[in-house]
């Protein structure tokens, strides 16, 4: 069985439906496909196909980091530009929701974005805001679906509505286990949107993860590998602290550290706690590193590297929340970063990432280890509730697993 991205299905089976239409495309460089024997960005393939099939690719919209991913994270805006003679409109700057005047001359909006399976990742929320704009005009929107690279696992707290921000705009857990197309269906239902929405499904995707015969093209500057994506649902929490989450190294989110921290002491402490709480699927490796930019730039930091040994049992949200407890205990200068963070100017960054003040309050009061056991039980309850909701929006059968489809 041959795997195909949603964009490949579109180009092979659905292009006649675009004939005579004026098309917009929300994408960035990491959305790629096989086209005429080459790996090319979706926007290039669509531009070439438009000449043969008689439609017009009018403009490109692109999310955080820009079309070519030239900007780092957290409110480093970009201004748009031009590529292949096409206008490129920024949705991470003056606007995060497309102005209606940029949509009024379109007949259809296509969306091809590579998500990474974590609630914090902003591309899904750019999709949501684009859906809302299209809904105002009744403009059809097609999502060209792509794999969730970390599979179907669900983990973490449900985001409370009062903590909605640009790193979370739906009541879902940190790790949701859905594709971007499935999330679009959930968003339309939960927000009672009426826009004509269509998901161009992938062919023969194994929901356990990434198809092994396809290269991983990093979808944002600090998401270089699939290993990064696996730990990111936990590692991103450290963005809300003064502990380095490994930005400025070649292993962001896999390594975390701070000045004057003994990596062996930290490793042994976290390993002991993890064993007592039943966390599995990983090993912690002591590390010292010097970031070339971001937190701790030019300083020697001590910490740990998370090595995933079993993806099916690994729970990054639980592990990294526990790691925060370790840094708070070992490093006297541990502190929370203050707003602004991703356009939120009043609420604490850790609260909008976690979805409530729950984690911050536990760490601030140096809660005993038994409190973390209670926290993890509460998370399990929330996760079960979401699983029951999620089944209404899933598009792909798990049967491929039984047939031996390959994924990484």
Residue 123's contacts (CB-CB under 8 Å, 6 or more residues apart) are 63, 64, 113, 114, 115, 180, 219
* pLDDT score for 74: 66
Alpha carbons 191 and 129: distance in angstroms, whole number: 11
Residue 40: strand, helix, or coil: strand
What angle separates helix 369-390 from helix 263-277, to the nearest 10 degrees?
A: 60
Query: Does residue 132 belong to any structural domain of this protein?
Result: yes
Is residue 246 included in any domain, yes or no?
Answer: yes
pLDDT tens, position by position, 89-143: 999 999 999 999 999 999 999 999 999 999 999 999 999 999 999 999 999 999 9
Number of separate domains in the chain: 2
Domain that holds residue 139: 6-214+389-402
Q: Tell me: do 190 and 249 sit in the same domain.
A: no
Give per-residue pLDDT as tens, 139-169. 999 999 999 999 999 999 999 999 999 999 9
The least confident of 22-26, 56-60, 72-76, 370-374 is 72-76
For residues 1 and 198, the answer to whether their CB atoms sit within 8 Å is no
Same domain for 350 and 231, yes or no, is: yes
- Distance in angstroms (rounded) separating the CA atoms of residues 97 and 353: 21
Where does the pLDDT of residue 407 fall: very low under 50, low under 70, confident under 90, or very high at 90 and above?
Answer: very low
Same domain, 147 and 280: no
Is the Cα torsion angle 25, 3, 226, 318 positive or negative in sign?
positive
The CATH number that applies at residue 287 is 3.90.1150.140
The torsion defined by the Cα of 101, 104, 108 and 109, in degrees rounded to 10, comes to: 10
Same domain (yes/no): 245, 201: no
Regarding whether 305 and 239 lie in a shared domain, the answer is: yes
Whether 196 and 283 map to the same domain: the answer is: no
Do 257 and 204 sit in the same domain of this protein?
Answer: no
pLDDT tens digit sequence for 302-350: 999 999 999 999 999 999 999 999 999 999 999 999 999 999 999 999 9
Asked whether residue 63 is assigned to any structural domain, the reply reads: yes
Same structural domain, 40 and 180: yes
CATH number of the domain residue 44 falls in: 3.40.50.12170
pLDDT tens-digit map of 172-181: 999 999 999 9
Return phi, psi of residue 55, to 5°. Answer: -120, 170
Least confident piece of the model among 45-49, 73-77, 361-365, 389-393: 73-77
Q: Indicate the helix (H) or strand (E) that contains 52.
A: helix 42-53
Q: From the DSSP assignment, how many helices (H) and strands (E) are in the chain?
A: 11, 12
pLDDT of residue 408: 45
With 70 as the cut, is the pLDDT of residue 39 above it? Answer: yes
Widest Cα–Cα separation across the chain? 66
Q: Is residue 374 part of a domain?
A: no
> What is the rounded average pLDDT for all residues in the chain?
94
> Residue 203: which of 90, 367, 34 has the closest Cα?
34
| Band of pLDDT at residue 37, cut at 50, 70 and 90 | confident
CB 314 within 8 A of CB 280: yes
pLDDT of residue 79: 75
Say if 169 falls within a structural domain.
Answer: yes
- Residue 401 clears pLDDT 60, i.e. is over it: no
d(CA 52, CA 175): 41
Look-up of token digits 């409109």: 89
CA 379 to each of CA 232, 291, 354: distance values in angstroms, whole numbers, following the listed order? 18, 33, 11
Domain shared by 257 and 286, yes or no: yes
- Residue 188: which residues within 8 A CB-CB, separation 6 or more? 131, 195, 197
Question: Between 85 and 132, whose confidence is greater?
Answer: 132
HEC sequence for 112-151: ECCCCCECCCCHHHHHHHHHHHHHHHCCCEEEECCCCCCC
Closest-CA residue to 35 (of 55, 8, 53, 69):
8
pLDDT at residue 405, rounded to an integer:
34
Rounded Cα gap, residues 181 and 198, in angstroms:
9
Same domain, 244 and 278: yes
Residue 123, domain member (yes or no): yes
**H or E segment and range at residue 89:** strand 86-90
**Residues 314, 233: Cα–Cα separation, whole Å:** 11
Question: Can you tell me the distance from the alpha carbon of 197 to that of 181, in angstroms, rounded to the nearest whole number?
Answer: 10
Terminal Cα distance for the chain, rounded: 16
- The reported pLDDT for the residue numbered 36 is 83
Short-list 121, 120, 140, CA closest to 130: 140
Give the per-residue pLDDT at 75: 62
Tell whether 292 and 319 lie within a shared domain: yes
pLDDT for residue 71: 79
Does 124 fall in a domain? yes
Are 7 and 112 in contact by the 8 Å Cβ rule? The answer is yes
pLDDT band at 78 (very low <50, low <70, confident <90, very high): low
378 assigned to some structural domain: no
Judge if 54 and 159 occupy the same domain. yes
pLDDT of 273 over the 60 cut: yes
């Amino acid at each position: 069985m041959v795997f195909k991205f949603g964009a490949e299905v579109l180009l092979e089976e659905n292009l006649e439906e675009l004939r005579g239409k004026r098309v917009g495309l929300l994408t960035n460089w990491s959305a790629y496909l096989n086209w005429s024997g080459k790996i090319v960005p979706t926007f290039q393939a669509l531009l070439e196909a438009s000449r043969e099939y008689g439609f017009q690719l009018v403009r490109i919209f692109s999310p955080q980091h820009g079309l070519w991913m030239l900007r780092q994270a957290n409110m480093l805006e970009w201004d748009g530009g031009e590529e292949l003679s096409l206008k490129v409109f920024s949705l991470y700057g003056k606007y995060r929701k497309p102005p209606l005047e940029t949509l009024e001359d379109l007949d259809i909006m296509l969306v091809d974005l590579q998500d990474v399976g974590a609630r914090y990742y902003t591309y899904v929320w750019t999709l949501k805001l684009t859906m809302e704009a299209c809904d105002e005009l009744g403009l059809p929107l097609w999502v060209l679906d792509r794999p969730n690279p970390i599979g179907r696992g669900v983990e973490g707290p449900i985001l409370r509505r009062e903590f909605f921000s640009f790193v979370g705009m739906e009541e879902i857990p940190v790790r949701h286990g859905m594709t971007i197309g499935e999330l679009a269906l959930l968003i339309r239902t939960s927000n009672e949107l009426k826009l004509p929405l269509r998901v161009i499904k992938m062919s023969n995707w194994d929901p356990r993860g990434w198809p092994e015969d396809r290269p991983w093209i990093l979808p944002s500057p600090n998401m270089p590998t699939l290993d990064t994506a696996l730990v990111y649902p936990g590692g991103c929490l450290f963005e809300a602290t003064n502990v380095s989450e490994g930005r400025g190294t070649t292993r962001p989110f896999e390594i975390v550290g701070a000045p004057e921290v003994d990596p062996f002491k930290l490793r042994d402490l976290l390993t002991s706690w993890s064993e007592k709480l039943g966390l599995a699927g990983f090993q912690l490796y002591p590390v010292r590193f010097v970031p070339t930019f971001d937190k701790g730039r030019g300083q020697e930091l001590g910490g740990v590297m998370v090595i995933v040994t079993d993806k099916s049992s690994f729970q990054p949200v639980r592990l990294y929340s526990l790691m925060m407890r370790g840094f708070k205990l070992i490093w006297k200068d541990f502190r929370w970063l203050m707003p602004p963070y991703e356009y939120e100017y009043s609420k604490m960054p850790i609260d909008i990432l976690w979805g409530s003040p729950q984690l911050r309050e536990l760490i601030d009061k140096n809660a005993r280890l038994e409190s973390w056991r209670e926290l993890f039980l509460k998370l399990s309850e929330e996760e079960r509730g979401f699983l029951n909701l999620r089944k209404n929006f899933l598009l792909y059968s798990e049967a491929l697993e039984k047939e031996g489809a390959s994924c990484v």
